[in-house]
Amino acid sequence: MIVSACNGDQNSMSDNPFFAPSELPFEAPDFTIIEEEHYAPAFEEGMARQLSEIEAIATNPESPTFENTIVAMERTGDLLTRAQRVFFNLTSAHTSDKLQEIQSEFAPKFAAHSDNIRLNSALFERIEQLHEHKDEPGLDDASMKLLEDTYRNFVRAGAQLTDAEQQRMRDINSRISSLTTQFQENVLQLNRERAVVVDDVALLDGMSSDRIAAAKEAAESRGHEDSYLLSITNTTRVPILTSLNNRELRERVWRASAYRGLGEDGGIDNRPLVLELAQLRAERAKLLGYPNFATYALEPQTAQSPDNVLGMLTDLIPSVISNAEEEAELIIAKMREDGIDDELQPWDWEFYGEQVRREQYDIDENEVRPYFEINRVLEDGVFYAMERLYGITFEERFDLPLYHPEVRIFDVYDEDGAQLGLFYADYFSRDSKRGGAWMNSFVVQSHLLEKKPVIVNVLNVSPPAEGEPALISFSNVTTMFHEMGHAVHGLFSDVLYPSQAGTSVPRDFVEFPSTFEEDWAIHPDVLANYAIHYETGEPIPSELLDRVIAARDFNQGFDTYEYLAATMVDMEWHLLGSDEIPADVAAFEQAALEKYRMDWYAIPPRYKSAYFSHIFSGGYSANYYAYIWSEILAADAFAFMREQGGLTRENGDRYRSYILSRGGSLDAMELYRAYRGGDPDVSHLLRRRGLYAN
């Protein structure tokens, strides 16, 4: 019997919009009727319903079969899933104090709910019986994969532990869920806490007029009249550093970013959360029989082990250091020309690096940005490339409710006119949005559940001043293509089971389809179609286009160095045993960097631990390496496609068929080898990044 979680002061089941599927196309969320008070009762009722469904499966008197156990599990939790997908999209993209309160309240409850399923001994007994007889005829490849993954996930959750060990596992999981939620909320608040307010517009010398106007509006929105606000949103590096001529202000902005989360001046201190998370993860791994969390986390990934990851990364380090040192020589020379005799500082690198780029390639960001107006980039760049490759089209619609006025919604059609699903584009930064860029799903595709995908892409592009065009950097252009790679991975999903849909693949494979799409941003046909001056309507001059493409290789030493430095910090945190957790976060970071010769002060890690959301709240713990691991596949696949004729429907259809449509229905590397005809060649990565082994 299911007991409703609703009470007298909450909405009844009949008027809670989550208690039944949305009546909008593809079950898109109806934000005209969804209120913050709907989430808690939907979560409570959703968990109760799913546990009732699970209990019915676990106590089924019939002998276990794939259909009455594994497939039956795939059908459970519809209400909970529906409410969670909307909720977690909003807590990332448009949160509020109330949503954060709900998230903090329910994080441990969700962890307990997951444990109640995966530590259900009767249910695991049925799964175990099926797994013991998995080689008997009857299962297709996708079903076999689902059975194996289900069994593995239950074992890795602690299904084979003793009762006392399972209780400790529950305690650990509950605490981790609370800590990661707190870390995420803290980072969002840190971005506000550490924003730099400038009172004198003269200090902003070097910034374009549209960016100065946007900074003024941002300051006014925070109550700072006659001031200018420079936001801190994501990485240690702050993009505005390329433009600020005032060195003291550059240092101030960089320090505001680099020393987030350390409790300075009574501010937010994330270091205790970092240490406790490292401790709890190590203890959880030990309970399950692993020497450390990294070994546990990497077991189901394509990399399989920390040794494989470290082997690949350390092989890259010498050429990365060499390239970065060559870049530093050029940057120091520019500093000397400016009369600066100091050592190269991290707040100098971006600024003088941009000057070197401008000098070597005759590139001025203010000259280039007018050719990258965000709407044209999206419609005539990203959408155009997707149509050329896959035959799909995007048509904007204005009749569906939005969770924020800046969001746009598009119908996505296949070449035959059949609708694949819906695509939401949410590109501008705001205080209610966490930093970075990502893809999420309101609905995932499944033939079993007869659902089509509803996909969301989120970026953090600085909004323009009112009435001004949104001109973006080429880096943001690339990010738009990257996130569309995730989007088509979800949109093209063509699988039976929801748990295998779209991006439900290993963490170190999921970034492959997204990184692959990045290179189409610089394909001459694509770039020429969207790089149009927003005022004159003239296409980007061919010689400027050539310079933009050529300049992409510059500063790759820096880019790769800061990424690898963060990756090594991630790995070192998660290689610790439960009795090896340090007391000093900064000292541990420094030792980790020194261990791999990545301790050059001028190039700090892309993220420091206190704001490293990927690994302390975002699901990439011991997996931040996944970006470059996936990039090996992406560079190799792009090179292979170029050899086969490049931007053609035949190439796109083959890639869609072998990779994008299959989700997690087969082993990830088997899919890749079937597509490529062999293993990837790492040399394509080195060429893509402009890194050449000595």
Which residues have a catalytic role annotated? 483
> CA–CA separation, 341 vs 593, rounded Å?
27
> CA–CA separation, 277 vs 402, rounded Å?
36
Per 3-state DSSP, what percentage of the chain is helix, strand, and coil (rounded to 5)? 60, 5, 35
> CA–CA separation, 465 vs 257, rounded Å?
24
Handedness of CA 134, 135, 136, 142 (dihedral sign): positive
Q: Which helix (H) or strand (E) element contains residue 229? A: strand 228-230
Reduce the DSSP state of residue 363 to 3 states and report it.
Answer: coil
DSSP letter for each residue of 135-155: TSTT--HHHHHHHHHHHHHHH
Is the separation of the CB atoms in 562 and 603 below 8 Å? yes
DSSP label of 24: S
> CA–CA separation, 165 vs 468, rounded Å?
59
DSSP H stretches of helix in 223-361? 247-258, 271-287, 293-298, 306-337, 346-361
Q: Which two tokens stand for residue 459?
A: 């970026």
Backbone angles phi, psi at 501, to 5 degrees: -80, 145
Q: Which two tokens stand for residue 338?
A: 């400016």
> CA–CA separation, 215 vs 198, rounded Å?
9
Count of residues in the chain: 694
> CA–CA separation, 142 vs 144, rounded Å?
5
